[in-house]
Amino acid sequence: MSVTRREMIKMTAAGFAAAALNIPFAGTSHASEDVVDVDKWIKGTCRFCGTGCGVYVGVKNGRVAAIRGNPQAATNFGFLCVKGFKGYMSMYHPDRLKYPLVRGADDKFKRVSWDEALNLVAKKFMELQQKHGKDAVAYYGSGQCMTEESYTFNKLWKGGFGSNMVDGNPRLCMASAVGGYVTTFGTDEPAGSYADIEKARTFFLVGSNLSECHPIIFRRVTRQKLSNPDNIKVIVCEPRLTSTARIADIWLPADPGTDLAVFHCMAREIVKNNWVDKWYIENLCRFTTGTQVVDFAAYTQFLEQFTPEAVEKLTRCPAANIVEAARLFATQGPTMSLWTMGLNQRTRGVWANNLVHNLHLITGNICKEGADSFSLTGQPNACGGVRETGSLSHLLPGTRPVANPAVREQVEKAWKIPAGKIDPKPGFHTMEMFAKLGAENDASKPLKGMFITTTNPAQSLPNCHKYHKGMKESFLVVADIFPTRTTQLADVILPAAFIYEKGGVYGCSERRSQLTSKCTDPPGEAKPDLWIAAQLAKRMGLEKLIPWNGDDPAANYKMAWDDYRECVKMTEHSLYGITYDRLLKMEEGLQWPCPDEKSPGTARRYVRGKDPIMDMPEIVKVPPQALIYFYADQKHEGRANVFLRPYKGPEEPPDKEYPFFLTTGRVIEQWHSGTMTMRVPEIARSQPNAYVEIHPSDAKQYGINNGDLVKMISRRGFNILPARVVKSSLPGILFVPWFDQDWDRMINRVTIDAFDDGSKQPEFKICAVRIERFGDPKDVADMTVISSVDTPFPSRA
């Protein structure tokens, strides 16, 4: 069936909700149109974004035949977006990788047995480690792996090899949110839950095109708005007039990378008009420059520079809108902020997160119903799988720093490894990893090998072609379900199982863990990543550390999960009470902290009577009289930091030579690099290729008409893209979605790889480009995918 984008959107439930607000679309639906007479329905979660929508997977004759939303799931109440109800179809695409492959001397891949492939990987990794040291081989994981898988690879590297060369793609999407929570509150992840959406009276949607990137959350926000349109207010801070911005009562169109000034200006208005919450300021806030604690008067003084008029000049955001946004934020609460990559993928990402938290702290809009400062995660298991298991180069399970000796000691005991085995020095973060990956004989490249799973860095890294040489010249092992730009550079390809072919736990943005049960077998000889990790461990003499290498995936995943629960039992991230048995029975999963099997989980942290950790002195010490207490405060005062961060703009603002801002993002139909969603014909036809959005005034100046090909050039590379001349992108700002695998439309050949000093997250969202008309309209709806492992990598830059 061929479905146009318009038809796809029209047939969805929130499409109607959006229509009521006179916005273009939301794209959600109650259930799959493919609901058929199936043999059984199996509970699980969607794997195509961080919302964590609950699904039922319909199985007929041993094959997945349909998906429907789980009406009892607390995340989505049965609603799904197009990826949720169509994305599974990619499982049966003929391009699926089915057998282990090893690159031969003729540069072609040849099929080998699992034993041959795993023995080769184990032998080569051990050789590299012996010759170049324990840190010569890295693991690069994904926010799409199951929690048990990320935990196991992390344990193998840090506990088995004694190497912290572990990182993953959440570094590219959520690291600044982690940095923001940790520096402000002392620990990662939000205080509240999605349920705050239905209690909020004002929404601050910032750096997020919610309607396309988190459509089910957008549906909840639009429903709340529609329930009382005059009194529920929506503020959107976003440089494009997106479909999200169209529901706004107040739109703050600040230029990319300038919003730090907007947040400080809002704080200034709040302080100036005495819209602050004095009790929060006196009892829960600590004002700090980052190096020095100051008082509220110093904060007030610091804010003085951010007058609405000065900020309008700097950001192009109307002063009156900022003032009104500040009033609504502070006086029409409870207020809930929601954000994603627009705040995180920045060289000042941590600071941007800090400044949004500031607004909540000074107005008392946190730790109350409907009030929260809430980062939405991009990937389905970036929170549960990578942040919480500590599968980044500087962390250990429980999102605790590897540099902390007490944390290392506790984890070494839990893992039953010798004291001192875990290296205190953090490994390389993602950008450093790929910069230092290279050939064995290249002395400038300390990383000689890498194991990559469930991600496609050859396409998803910023300024990606800079890193292709290192991937090609090192010993690269890639586990995935389809050929990708990254498998094109691999030495060994391992065929992996899809979520519904193995099962396991995902943890979504609201600290909620949910279990998916295995629904069907993987194709050919494809295997679960957990089995691959455990078999690799066995071949490297580490079977005792990771013994879950049997043939029963359910038993293996449960063993790994129980090992993880035990490891984080006595932490404020405890999910000891979240057992497989409970997850199997519960339709909506459980939110940590959940320290024992009687705990119902925690919807709101830091509040007495709501958060069990408040009454666990063996984990944190909270004064008995404290009703709200930020117990992870590093100074043990129960306060959160309100930062006086100086203003800094983007790394590469437009100039005479490169006069445009380029910003990138997702579209509702496509997931990340399009590896799976581009293989669902209905989705691919609906959104077949990337394009560049240009404002009509800019298009006119460059003689560009709708559909014309545009050459877009940055200091790093170029793309050739069809133009969409639309008013949603403001003059001087261009937008390109990033899913397209076509070499000429792979936008990460253009983006910048500068990164945030604190979080090490790159500034995908902002760089400077110039454009020129390249040619007449041409049909580029070619739905490009890398369809064969032997498709040669482009030789031109």
Give whichever of 49 and 322 is closer to ligand SF4, judged by the CB atom: 49
The piece of 76-84, 131-139, 156-164, 686-694 that touches ligand SF4 (CB under 6 A) is 76-84
Options 83, 368, 436, 518, the catalytic residue: 83
Segment 173 to 232, residues that bind ligand SF4, using CB under 6 A:
214-216
For ligand SF4, which residue has the nearest CB? 84
Q: How far is the CB of 192 from ligand SF4 (least distance, A)?
A: 19
Q: Which two tokens stand for residue 617?
A: 């002195």
Q: Is the distance from CB of 507 to CB of 383 less than 8 angstroms?
A: yes
53 is in an annotated binding site: yes
11 is catalytic: no
Give whichever of 513 and 556 is closer to ligand SF4, judged by the CB atom: 513
433 is in an annotated binding site: no
Options 89, 146, 165, 174, the catalytic residue: 174
345 is in an annotated binding site: yes
In angstroms, the CA 487 to CA 485 distance is 6
Options 91, 224, 367, 379, the catalytic residue: 379
Q: How far is the CB of 52 from ligand SF4 (least distance, A)?
A: 6
Nearest one of 477, 402, 378, 475 to 173, comparing CA atoms: 378
x/- mask, ligand SF4, residues 14-33, rule CB under 6 A, reads --------------------
The piece of 41-49, 265-273, 470-478, 700-708 that touches ligand SF4 (CB under 6 A) is 41-49
378 is catalytic: yes
Q: How far is the CB of 506 from ligand SF4 (least distance, A)?
A: 9
Q: Pick one of 23, 49, 117, 120: the residue that binds ligand SF4 (CB under 6 A).
A: 49
Count of residues that bind ligand SF4 according to CB under 6 A: 13
Give whichever of 48 and 629 is closer to ligand SF4, judged by the CB atom: 48
62 is in an annotated binding site: no
502 is in an annotated binding site: yes
Q: How far is the CB of 125 from ligand SF4 (least distance, A)?
A: 35
How distant, in Å, are the alpha carbons of 84, 256, 302, 309, 315 from that of 261? 37, 12, 12, 11, 8
How distant, in Å, are the alpha carbons of 3, 738, 765, 769 from that of 716? 36, 16, 15, 10
Q: Which two tokens stand for residue 788?
A: 């064969």
Q: Which two tokens stand for residue 207?
A: 């750096």
Give whichever of 83 and 394 is closer to ligand SF4, judged by the CB atom: 83
- Any idea what the Cα angle at residue 538 is, between residues 535 and 544, rounded to 5°? 125
Instruction: Give, as one character, the DSSP assignment of residue 468.
Output: H
Total number of residues shown for the chain: 797
In angstroms, the CA 91 to CA 481 distance is 8
Q: Pick one of 5, 83, 225, 327: the residue that binds ligand SF4 (CB under 6 A).
A: 83
In angstroms, the CA 40 to CA 9 distance is 29
Options 58, 78, 378, 398, the catalytic residue: 378
Q: Is the distance from CB of 563 to CB of 557 less than 8 angstroms?
A: no
Nearest one of 618, 39, 157, 209 to 395, comparing CA atoms: 157
The piece of 81-89, 145-153, 158-166, 633-641 that touches ligand SF4 (CB under 6 A) is 81-89
What burial letters (b/e) apply to 636-648, b meaning 16+ CB within 10 Å? eebbbbbbbbebe
Options 213, 336, 341, 678, the catalytic residue: 341
Give whichever of 205 and 720 is closer to ligand SF4, judged by the CB atom: 205
354 is in an annotated binding site: no
Is residue 8 near ligand SF4 by the rule CB under 6 A? Answer: no
In angstroms, the CA 277 to CA 365 distance is 9
Helical spans, DSSP H, in 400-456: 405-415, 430-435
Q: How far is the CB of 672 from ligand SF4 (least distance, A)?
A: 11
421 is catalytic: no
The residues pairing with 111 across neighbouring beta strands, listed in sequence order, are: 101
Q: Pick one of 18, 64, 80, 341: the residue that binds ligand SF4 (CB under 6 A).
A: 80
Handedness of CA 201, 173, 762, 456 (dihedral sign): negative
How distant, in Å, are the alpha carbons of 124, 471, 597 from that of 611? 48, 45, 15
257 is in an annotated binding site: yes
Q: Which residues have C-beta within 8 Å of that of residue 509, sequence separation ≥ 6?
A: 50, 51, 52, 190, 194, 374, 375, 376, 377, 383
Residue 93 sits at φ, ψ, to 5 deg, of: -75, 140
46 is in an annotated binding site: yes
User: Alpha-carbon dihedral of residues 336, 338, 344, 347, nearest 10 degrees?
Assistant: -50
Give whichever of 53 and 122 is closer to ligand SF4, judged by the CB atom: 53
173 is in an annotated binding site: yes
341 is catalytic: yes
Q: How far is the CB of 76 from ligand SF4 (least distance, A)?
A: 6
- Any idea what the Cα angle at residue 396 is, between residues 764 and 527, rounded to 5°? 75
Options 173, 285, 367, 471, the catalytic residue: 173
Give whichever of 80 and 311 is closer to ligand SF4, judged by the CB atom: 80
Q: Pick one of 12, 29, 76, 244: the residue that binds ligand SF4 (CB under 6 A).
A: 76
Q: Which residues have C-beta within 8 Å of that of residue 659, sequence separation ≥ 6?
A: 732, 768, 770
Is residue 556 near ligand SF4 by the rule CB under 6 A? Answer: no
Give whichever of 456 and 571 is closer to ligand SF4, judged by the CB atom: 456
144 is in an annotated binding site: yes
Beta strands in 521-654 (DSSP E): 590-591, 640-643
Q: How far is the CB of 49 from ligand SF4 (least distance, A)?
A: 3
Q: Which two tokens stand for residue 723?
A: 């133009």
Give whichever of 29 and 729 is closer to ligand SF4, judged by the CB atom: 29
The piece of 79-87, 262-270, 319-327, 344-352 that touches ligand SF4 (CB under 6 A) is 79-87
Q: Pick one of 48, 434, 629, 739: the residue that binds ligand SF4 (CB under 6 A).
A: 48
Give whichever of 12 and 154 is closer to ligand SF4, judged by the CB atom: 12
Q: Which residues have C-beta within 8 Å of that of residue 770, sequence separation ≥ 6?
A: 657, 658, 659, 660, 712, 713
Is residue 51 near ligand SF4 by the rule CB under 6 A? Answer: yes
Q: Is 724 exposed, middle or buried (0-12, 13-18, 19+ CB in 10 A)?
A: middle
529 is in an annotated binding site: yes
Is residue 53 near ligand SF4 by the rule CB under 6 A? Answer: yes
Give whichever of 214 and 225 is closer to ligand SF4, judged by the CB atom: 214
Q: How far is the CB of 376 from ligand SF4 (least distance, A)?
A: 10
Q: How far is the CB of 711 from ligand SF4 (least distance, A)?
A: 33
110 is in an annotated binding site: no
341 is in an annotated binding site: yes
Q: Pick one of 17, 59, 81, 361: the residue that binds ligand SF4 (CB under 6 A).
A: 81
Q: Which two tokens stand for residue 299?
A: 């904060």
Q: Which amino acid is at 289?
A: T
Q: Pick one of 84, 100, 257, 378: the residue that binds ligand SF4 (CB under 6 A).
A: 84
Is residue 398 near ligand SF4 by the rule CB under 6 A? Answer: no
What kind and span of H or E run contains 460?
A: helix 457-460
Q: Is the distance from CB of 70 to CB of 56 less than 8 angstroms?
A: yes
End-to-end CA distance of the chain: 38
Give whichever of 515 and 534 is closer to ligand SF4, judged by the CB atom: 515
In angstroms, the CA 278 to CA 64 distance is 56
| Residues in the annotated binding site for [4Fe-4S] cluster | 46, 49, 53, 81
Show which residues are catalytic.
83, 173-174, 341, 378-379
Annotated binding site for substrate: 738
Contact residues for ligand SF4, defined by CB under 6 A? 46, 48-49, 51, 53, 76, 80-81, 83-84, 214-216
The binding site comprises: 46, 49, 53, 81, 83, 144, 169, 173, 257-259, 341, 345, 456, 502, 529, 738, 748, 765
